[in-house]
């Protein structure tokens, strides 16, 4: 079986160059719909701490396995319509594995779907990840709280009597993006809104 017969849809998996370009085009087309979906789901999860500390709540599609799987499913559908689908599909998520199997059956496709470990996943993370994840999330929240507490004096939040406007931004190591999510937003705010607007970075 050659590389053309295998489609690696794992998070950080290696796609053939021609598929990679199609995948990028799909990501560009569905990113707005994905963000709107996350916002819609989040609106009903106000009191669900598990949702907010887990990855799916993030609208940062650069670091979202969920967004990757959404793009992967669209890619599968596109390749199937072109009758250019690989015979073997590699995945690293139990939920996505079940989804691909159901999709394959519903479309009368004879595919092999293999569930593998995530690329670069350690044995500790593989077997104890579900137990360590809440601890990791709690430590992250504690560090953010301490950082905010140490700098709260500069913002003088206690003197603000009107509702605040919080805008989430994404900070990624080694990557600089300027006005990618909210181009021209600050310039179009009036002075009153600027005084109560704060950008809240999310670090990956």
CB atoms within 10 A of CB 19: 19
The whole-number average pLDDT for the span 5-33 is 91
Please give the pLDDT value at position 143.
Answer: 77
Higher pLDDT, 133 or 26: 26
pTM equals 0.62
Please give the pLDDT value at position 1.
Answer: 46
Average pLDDT along the chain: 78
The whole-number average pLDDT for the span 99-103 is 96
Residue reference for tokens 């085009």: 25
How is the beta sheet containing 112-115 ordered, strand by strand?
A: 6-8, 88-91, 112-115
Please give the pLDDT value at position 124.
Answer: 55
Higher pLDDT, 163 or 154: 163
Please give the pLDDT value at position 182.
Answer: 59
What percent of the chain stands above pLDDT 90?
31
Higher pLDDT, 108 or 189: 108
CB 130 within 8 A of CB 156: no
CB 196 within 8 A of CB 165: yes
Retrieve residue 31's tokens: 């990113």
Distance CA 156, CA 17 (A): 51
Question: Cα 92–97–101 angle (5° rounding)?
Answer: 150
Higher pLDDT, 118 or 115: 115
Distance CA 32, CA 35 (A): 5
What percent of the chain stands above pLDDT 70?
69
The phi, psi pair for 43, rounded to 5°, reads -65, -25
Highest mean pLDDT among 75-79, 161-165, 180-184, 196-200: 75-79
Please give the pLDDT value at position 91.
Answer: 96
SS3 173: coil
Retrieve residue 44's tokens: 């009903």
Per-residue pLDDT tens for 160-183?
677 888 777 665 555 555 544 555
Is the pLDDT assigned to residue 92 strictly greater than 50? yes
What CA–CA distances, in Å, run from 7 to 4, 67, 91?
Answer: 7, 17, 9
Beta strands 6-8 and 165-171 are unpaired
Is the pLDDT assigned to residue 2 strictly greater than 50? no
């Amino acid at each position: 079986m050659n590389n053309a017969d295998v489609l690696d849809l794992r998070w950080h998996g290696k796609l053939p160059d021609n598929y990679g370009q199609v995948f990028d085009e799909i990501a560009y087309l569905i990113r707005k719909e994905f963000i709107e979906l996350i916002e819609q789901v989040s609106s009903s999860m106000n009191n669900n701490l598990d949702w907010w500390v887990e990855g799916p709540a993030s609208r940062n599609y650069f670091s979202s396995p969920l967004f990757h799987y959404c793009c992967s499913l669209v890619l599968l559908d596109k390749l199937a319509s072109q009758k250019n689908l690989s015979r073997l599909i590699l995945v690293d998520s139990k939920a996505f594995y079940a989804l691909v199997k159901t999709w394959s059956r519903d479309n009368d496709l004879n595919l092999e779907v293999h569930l593998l470990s995530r690329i670069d996943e350690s044995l500790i993370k593989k077997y104890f990840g579900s137990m360590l994840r809440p601890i990791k999330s709690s430590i992250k929240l504690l560090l953010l709280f301490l950082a905010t507490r140490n700098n709260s004096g500069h913002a003088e939040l206690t003197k603000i009597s009107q509702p605040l406007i919080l805008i989430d931004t994404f900070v990624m190591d080694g990557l600089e993006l300027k006005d990618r999510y909210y181009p021209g937003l600050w310039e179009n705010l009036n002075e009153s809104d600027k005084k109560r607007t704060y950008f809240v970075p999310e670090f990956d």
